[in-house]
A = this chain, B = another copy of it.
Amino acid sequence: MDPHLLTTFVTVARHGSFSAAAAELGYTQSAISQQVAALEADLGLALLRRRPVEPTPAGRRLLEHAEPLLLRLRAARADVLRTAAEPRHLLRLAATPLAVNPVVAARLAEARARQPRLEIRLRMCRAERLAALVAEGRADLGLADGIAAPSDPLRLPDAGPMTTTGVTEEDLVVALPAGHPLAGRASLRLADLIDARWLRTPLCPPARLRDLVGEGFPAGLEYEGDDVRTALNLAAAGHGLTLLPASAVPAGGGGGGGVCAVPVAAPRLVHRVELLHAALPPGAAADLVAALSG
């Protein structure tokens, strides 16, 4: 179970070819063959079927383990090395699309006002990748958003020891087309919407939606992008409902096409933004964390 052999195995499985893996890793075919053989000998069972090269059941199981394992290994290395890094003034921030709400943006501004030398590079990414980015040190700080019960932490993929801090919580609303029968309501319950069509978008993770609304709700349009205005336009046009933080839906229901935001009364849920970071690089990071935490 040497990580070295594990990466080789993963690469071979991904390419479906020993020679391609050899090319990528800078080894000869022969070495790859020996490494795979060594791993199989170590475990005492076949991991790959040859010609065509594809994982056996045991191999598939190992693949499920190997990826997070290697991620955590890289994360550990990055985290330890960070303790000896020199101070930086450029902070690389990674955020999910809905994480930079007005409050977060304002706090970032405060921090920059207090620390003129502070530079921030903000990069967007999906929630699943965010923890990995931060863990591996490819981002210094992460801002993740999600739906949770009030004061409950978000469920983020575990990529090793990391600090998570709640930043904001705000009301959750359902974005309805202006003409929808429930559009005028002061609030509604998700249970009332069990038959509604939902917009499938990474803005509101489908897995979470399934938990909340129930299994097998009729799927509306699937929008693979993460632009909020596009999602709102789609919602306004009746392609499906969306769960969004209140601040993401323009007030008054005006705008282009008319969406109406109705707060979710039950279950009690909030849209939560969380800050996550591994060991902080010395420098401006600690101040920014403090500023964001409020």
Interface residues of A (CB under 8 A from B): 1-3, 43-45, 57-58, 61-62, 64-66, 68-69, 72-73, 75-77, 79-81, 83-84, 149-152, 155, 158, 160-161, 211, 267-268, 279
When distances are taken between beta carbons in the complex, the residues of chain B under 8 Å from A160 are 65, 68-69
Q: Which of A65, A211, A268, A279 has the most CB of B within 10 A?
A: A65
- 24 cross-chain CB contacts under 8 A: A1-B73, A2-B3, A43-B81, A44-B81, A44-B84, A45-B80, A45-B81, A45-B83, A45-B84, A61-B79, A61-B80, A61-B83, A61-B279, A62-B80, A64-B161, A65-B79, A65-B80, A66-B76, A69-B72, A69-B73, A72-B72, A149-B149, A149-B152, A158-B158
When distances are taken between beta carbons in the complex, the residues of chain B under 8 Å from A77 are 1, 43
Closest chain B CB from A7 CB (angstroms):
12
The contact of A2 among B2, B62, B75, by CB within 8 Å, is B2
| A55-B13 Cα distance, complex, nearest whole Å | 39
When distances are taken between beta carbons in the complex, the residues of chain B under 8 Å from A155 are 155
| A183-B138 Cα distance, complex, nearest whole Å | 54
When distances are taken between beta carbons in the complex, the residues of chain B under 8 Å from A44 are 81, 84
Secondary structure class of chain A's binding surface, majority of residues: helix
When distances are taken between beta carbons in the complex, the residues of chain B under 8 Å from A45 are 80-81, 83-84
| A158-B157 Cα distance, complex, nearest whole Å | 9
Report copies per complex. 2
When distances are taken between beta carbons in the complex, the residues of chain B under 8 Å from A83 are 45, 57-58, 61
When distances are taken between beta carbons in the complex, the residues of chain B under 8 Å from A68 are 72, 160-161
4 additional A-B residue pairs with CB within 8 Å, beyond A43-B80, A149-B149 = A1-B3, A45-B81, A61-B279, A66-B76
Contact A62 B84 (CB under 8 A): no
Contact B65 A161 (CB under 8 A): yes
Contact A62 B76 (CB under 8 A): yes
Contact A65 B61 (CB under 8 A): no
When distances are taken between beta carbons in the complex, the residues of chain B under 8 Å from A152 are 149, 211
| A79-B158 Cα distance, complex, nearest whole Å | 19
Closest chain B CB from A126 CB (angstroms):
19
When distances are taken between beta carbons in the complex, the residues of chain B under 8 Å from A267 are 149-150, 268
When distances are taken between beta carbons in the complex, the residues of chain B under 8 Å from A72 are 65, 68-69, 72
| A160-B79 Cα distance, complex, nearest whole Å | 20
Contact A84 B58 (CB under 8 A): yes
Closest chain B CB from A2 CB (angstroms):
7
When distances are taken between beta carbons in the complex, the residues of chain B under 8 Å from A211 are 151-152
| A61-B279 Cα distance, complex, nearest whole Å | 8
When distances are taken between beta carbons in the complex, the residues of chain B under 8 Å from A43 are 77, 80-81
Closest chain B CB from A161 CB (angstroms):
5
In order of increasing CB-CB distance, the 8 nearest A-B pairs are A65-B76, A158-B158, A58-B83, A64-B161, A45-B84, A62-B80, A149-B149, A61-B80
